């Protein structure tokens, strides 16, 4: 899901011919919307200019230190993963330094990343500087302070690792925009088909066993949906069969292992995935199977790539990454998390969603369309609230291109050219100085005029929700696509069911959701 740093984001494209006509399916009656973008508008400035007469903040030295080489980063890594845990690691440093901006080390550290030193930005005011590509460079920072071997991506530096200043960035991003535009009419019908299969599986297993893993069904439905919607290929009908999700999970582990906690014994996990990179050769055959599937399925997109001056091989590796790592990964993380928050919100919210969704569909001739979804303000707000409270891309990085000044709510800090900036997004999007009841899931938060004003603080896509991806930025090119398919999940869920019950556990990539009951639609 996003051209950001870390655990799964979405697609990233751009560049549209000036002769391209606006999509007839995209509505403009409300600012809250999602569609497969055809022509991204010019973005607004990423950093707001202080209002005239605003109180001048004090200039302060950035607190914190990095400790003794090797020892300091190693201690911070143990605290981050085991002794404190991720959130407490950051909270304790905020309390210690009485500042949301401070210096620290970020995993993995020795011996995978050469330089783990960062300036952490943990509030909603300082965080957006990470989107400003005039101030920060994004080259090779997708996964943070280290970069996985390009042997995992066919020897190519994939789009996610390119800075907008690099010539290939625009061409590869344009290719992904072409993919989204050319296949937009397939998104809703293919989602409905794939997730109808998911709900049938859940119902059958709940009836037989009293529970069903949402993750397992979601992984297969998500991969089938993306393959059908983007490439017109149904994986079970190919040599790949139903192996896609498991192959992707293994391949992704080799890239993200250094920043994941798998639940293994501490020192086994430290030695196995946090200290030395896993050898790419161990996943070479698995990756080749995925590559063969995408190469055989994406001929028309490869044709377009050649027109843009991109080889078919490089295009295929980028299409694979965008689909499997970004889009599939985003669905794998965000869909269970969203289900968790909606499930915990209770039957009152469920009833309101079911009533709104079914009413809007009935008023549009009984068919789900973009127009019908525009008439579902609560549903749209619920999706944005899930993206706010637990964004699928928690970590963001950028390296200062020049000496810059960064403002938090309380002070101004000077950052030197070349320093690494790091932002932990859940703290920025749960900033109590921006959001009322910031730690609570408030389904109607983004409804109405005042609610829509808060969308500029929803940052999951490597940019504010009120802005759009362009060739010159790193905002997720599939931003609207990700929001659309998240809305589709909520719509399809409450078309079928009045309510549902779940049990929530933990997984390496977010929530592990088990469905324990599904109450069929009664009206």
Pairing of strands 420-424, 117-121: parallel
Q: In what order do the strands lie in the sheet with 101-105?
A: 101-105, 117-121, 420-424, 395-400, 136-137
Answer for the pair 15, 170: CB distance below 8 angstroms, yes or no.
yes
- 476 belongs to an annotated ligand binding site: yes
Answer for the pair 380, 360: CB distance below 8 angstroms, yes or no.
no
Give the residue among 142, 139, 115, 122 at the shortest CA–CA distance from 1: 142
Helix, strand, coil percentages for the chain (3-state, nearest 5): 50, 10, 40
Cis peptide, bond prior to residue 429, ω within 30 of zero: no
CA distance 12 to 477: 3
Contacts of 209 (CB under 8 A, 6+ apart): none
CA distance 235 to 281: 25
End-to-end Cα spacing for the chain: 35
What 3-state DSSP class applies to 165?
coil
Give the alpha-carbon dihedral of 400, 403, 408, 411, to 10 degrees. 150
Q: Among all chains, which residue has been given the structure tokens 């010539």?
A: 167
Three-state SS annotation for 25-90: CCCCCCCCCCCCCCCCCCCCCCCCCCCCCCCCCCEECCCECCCCCCHHHHHHHHHHHHHCCHHHHH
CA distance 353 to 356: 5
From start to end of 66-215, where are the E strands? 101-105, 117-121, 136-137, 212-213
What 3-state DSSP class applies to 507?
strand
Q: For residue 463, which phi and psi values (nearest 5 degrees)?
A: 170, 160
CA distance 144 to 217: 30
Query: Both tokens of residue 419?
Result: 């320093």
Contacts of 486 (CB under 8 A, 6+ apart): 34, 334, 335, 338, 383, 386, 387
Compute and round to an integer the Cα radius of gyration of the chain.
22
Annotated binding site for heme: 476
- Summarize the annotated binding site as residue ranges: 476
């Amino acid at each position: 899901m996003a051209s950001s740093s870390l655990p799964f984001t979405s697609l990233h494209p751009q560049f549209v011919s000036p002769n391209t006509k606006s999509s007839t399916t995209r509505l403009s009656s409300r600012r809250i919307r999602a569609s497969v973008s055809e022509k991204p508008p010019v973005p607004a400035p990423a950093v707001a200019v202080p209002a005239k007469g605003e109180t001048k903040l004090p200039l302060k030295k950035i607190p914190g230190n990095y400790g003794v080489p090797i020892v300091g980063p190693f201690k911070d890594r143990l605290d981050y993963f085991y002794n404190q845990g991720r959130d407490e690691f950051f909270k304790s440093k905020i309390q210690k330094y009485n500042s949301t901006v401070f210096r620290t080390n970020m995993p993995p550290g020795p011996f995978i990343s050469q330089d783990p030193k960062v300036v952490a930005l943990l509030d909603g005011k300082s965080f957006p500087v990470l989107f400003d590509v005039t101030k920060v460079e994004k080259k090779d920072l997708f996964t943070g302070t280290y970069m996985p071997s390009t042997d995992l991506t066919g020897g190519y530096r994939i789009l996610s690792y390119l800075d907008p200043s690099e010539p290939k960035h625009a061409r590869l991003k344009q290719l992904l925009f072409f993919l989204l535009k050319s296949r937009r009419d397939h998104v809703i019908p293919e989602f409905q088909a794939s997730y109808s299969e998911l709900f049938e599986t859940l119902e059958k297993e709940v009836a037989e066993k009293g529970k069903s893993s949402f993750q397992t069904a979601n992984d297969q439905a998500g991969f089938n949906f993306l393959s059908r919607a983007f490439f017109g290929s149904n994986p079970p009908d190919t040599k790949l069969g139903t192996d896609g999700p498991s192959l992707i999970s293994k391949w992704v582990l080799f890239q993200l292992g250094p920043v994941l906690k798998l639940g293994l014994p501490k020192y086994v996990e430290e030695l196995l995935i946090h200290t030395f990179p896993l050898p790419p050769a161990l996943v070479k055959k698995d990756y080749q199977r995925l590559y063969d599937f995408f190469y055989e399925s994406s001929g028309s997109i490869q044709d377009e790539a050649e027109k843009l001056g991109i080889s078919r091989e490089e295009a295929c590796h980028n299409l694979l990454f965008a689909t499997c790592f970004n889009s599939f990964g985003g669905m794998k993380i965000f869909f269970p998390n969203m289900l968790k928050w909606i499930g915990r919100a209770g039957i009152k919210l469920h009833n309101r969603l079911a009533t709104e969704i079914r009413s809007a569909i009935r008023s549009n001739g009984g068919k789900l369309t973009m127009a019908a979804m525009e008439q579902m303000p609560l549903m749209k707000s619920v999706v944005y609230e899930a993206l706010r409270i637990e964004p699928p891309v928690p970590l963001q990085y950028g390296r200062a291109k020049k000496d810059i000044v960064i403002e938090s709510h309380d002070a101004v800090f000077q950052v030197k050219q070349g320093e690494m900036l790091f932002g932990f997004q859940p703290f920025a999007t749960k900033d109590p100085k921006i959001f009322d009841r910031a730690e609570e899931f408030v389904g109607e938060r983004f409804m109405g005029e005042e609610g829509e004003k808060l969308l500029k603080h929803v940052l999951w896509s490597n940019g504010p929700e009120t802005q759009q991806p362009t060739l010159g930025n790193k905002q997720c090119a599939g931003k609207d696509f990700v929001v659309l398919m998240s809305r589709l999940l909520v719509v399809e869920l409450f078309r079928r069911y009045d309510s549902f019950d779940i049990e929530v556990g933990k997984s390496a990539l977010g929530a592990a959701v088990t469905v324990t009951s599904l109450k069929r639609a009664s009206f």
